[in-house]
Structure formats: structure tokens, C-alpha cells
Amino acid sequence: MKCIINRRAEFSASHRYWMPEISDAENFARFGLCTNAPGHGHNYVLYVSMEGELDDYGMVLNLSDVKQVIKREITSQLNFSYLNDVWEEFQQTLPTTEHMARVIWNRLAPHLPLTKIQLFEHPELWADYEGNNMEAYLTISTHFSAAHRLAVPHLSMEENFEIYGKCARVHGHGHNYHLEVTIKGNIDPRTGMIADLVDFQKAVDSHVVEPFDHTFLNYDIPYFEKVVPTAENIAVHIRDLLEAPIQQIGAKLHKVKLIESPNNSAEVFGLPVEDADATKMEQPELAIAP
């Protein structure tokens, strides 16, 4: 029987986004404050996922052995280091979160049966790498506050209460929504980036956070005049809003996760490339969550 196990580790390190082959002005235009010398630091959190058959002792691997491998190959070398200088891979390619995840995979793969490397630069930015050559995933987390009412316009109050319960009350209710947007793409061999992080953040802010924040979704967002703003439908609409902007920054939208509360969340995946134009279709007349 196969099982996936996960091991967590931490290290603190600094890095700088700067390429000597271009001018200081060009570096600043591309990387902003991340070009400032002598660099800046993060408390990185690393998750190593491994898969294998359960042995007679009920383990995939002895976690004490796994801990020592990660310490020897990764954390003892990276902790309290200046990443640009510590490994050759970071001299050829800037030590972005996504590139670091790939390099960590390559250094651990000879020793552990990896399925995924997940590296958090901070709680609102992380990368995933699954061993697919130069392809990686980058996620940003953000939030907005909004109110909504769950009700189908042509149904009676009693019918809506049967479907949605208290959520059908006339004046609605609010949530502090947490939003995770994941893109995927190939890591640039020089910049180490899937896409420009500032452009990625701007796309999410301008197309979702700013229009949605402190609104009553049913009345302030035209899409939800005819579509019930369940967490599922909000996630789908966010996906559709972000498809084209993410393509414009050179990446592919992989997933949108909307966390309505600690108890409820919804996830939708990006459209296949050939269906990307589907976001331009007419909005549906009505969408009701099951």
C-alpha cells in the first residue's frame, strides 16, 4: 500500500534580485526594491512530500532519517546564508521562490522518493515543484471583505430559505474572504521567475480585490445580479476574470481557491488553453450551487 508523507523544515536566508549584465536602472525597473544591496531576508518554510510503500513497521520512511537528509543536503547549507553565493545554481539563476523549490528538489531527489517540494517565502507567497523539468507553480494569497445574499430572484422567501437557510435573509451577511491564486509556467533560466511577481499581484488586485472589496456582491458586481454568489460561483467568476490577465503576464492560471470561512472553501482550476476564450462568452442566466 502506497502512502505520501510530508516533512517540514525551516531556514532563514537572504537574497538579492540583481543581474550584473544589465544596468542598475534596468535592474530596478525589473525587480524594484528587491535590487537593494546587500539584499533582504526571509524565514523560509519547506515541505518535502515523499511517496512509498508502507513497511512492516507502518512507515514509508523513518522520519528521523528523512530529517537528517534534509538537514545535511538543504537546511544546514542554506540557513543564515546569502543565497546568491551559497550554491552555483543561484549564481546562474536568481534565487526566486520557484527556482529555489526546483533546486531543492534536484538536491534531494537522489536521496528521497519525492512527489513535491513546497517552499513558503512568507505566508502569502509560496511555490510548488513536482519534478517537471522547468515547470513550477507560484501562489499568492490575499483577501477581501464583502457581503452577499444567497437567493434565487424568482423563488419565494420560503423556497429560498429551504435551499439556503439563514443565508437567504434579505439584508445578507458578510465574510472576510481569503483568496489563493496559483499560476504555472516555465522558470526563466536567468531571472528564475515564472512571471513577474509585481505584475501577478497587480492582476489579482486590479481585477478582483479592488472591485470586490467592501461591496455587496449581489448589487455591486454585475455578474451576481443573475448568478447566486455562493463561494463556488465566486471562485468560478474570479477564475474567469483572471484567465486573460494571467496569460498576458506570460503564465497559465492553474487554480483559484476561495476560503469563505474556516469551515468553507471552494477551488476551481484554470481553463484548458484551447478554451481560454470561453471567458468571453455571455454570462449564464442563472447558476445555483447544489
Question: Amino acid letter at 254?
Answer: H
Is 54 in the same domain as 143?
no
Residue 218 belongs to what domain range? 137-290
- From CA 263, how far away is CA 240, in angstroms rounded? 25
Task: Tell me how many domains the chain contains.
Answer: 2
The CATH number linked to 173 is 3.30.479.10
Whether residues 162 and 119 share a domain: the answer is no
- Indicate if 81 and 154 belong to the same structural domain: no
The residue among 97, 131, 165 that closes a domain is 131
Asked if 31 and 71 count as a contact pair (C-beta separation under 8 A), the reply is: no
Based on the domain organization, do 88 and 141 belong to the same domain? no
Distance CA 150, CA 164 (A): 6
140-154, 191-205, 268-282, range with the lowest pLDDT: 268-282
Q: Is the model more confident about 289 or about 271?
A: 271
Q: Are residues 223 and 257 in the same domain?
A: yes
Share of the chain above pLDDT 90, in %: 93
Q: In this structure, are residues 98 and 127 in contact, taking their beta carbons and an 8 Å threshold?
A: yes
* 18 shares its domain with 159: no
Torsion sign across C-alpha atoms 193, 199, 204, 209: positive
Residue 284 pLDDT > 60: no
Same domain, 278 and 170: yes
Same domain as 289, residue 150: yes
* One domain for residues 117 and 29: yes
**Residue 81, amino acid:** S
pLDDT for 272: 86
**2-15 and 40-53 beta bridge pairing:** antiparallel
Given 131, 155, 178, which residue is the final one in a domain?
131
Q: Is the pLDDT of residue 199 over 70?
A: yes
What is the tens place of the pLDDT at every residue in 30-65?
Answer: 999 999 999 999 999 999 999 999 999 999 999 999
Which residue, of 104, 131, 158, is where some domain finishes?
131
213 contacts 163 by C-beta, under 8 angstroms? no
Are residues 77 and 119 both part of a single domain?
Answer: yes
| 150 shares its domain with 76 | no
Is residue 65 domain-shared with residue 90, that is, in the same domain?
A: yes
Any idea which residues carry the catalytic annotation? 167, 214, 260
| Mean pLDDT score across all residues of the chain | 94
Kindly tell me if the per-residue pLDDT of 273 is higher than 80: no
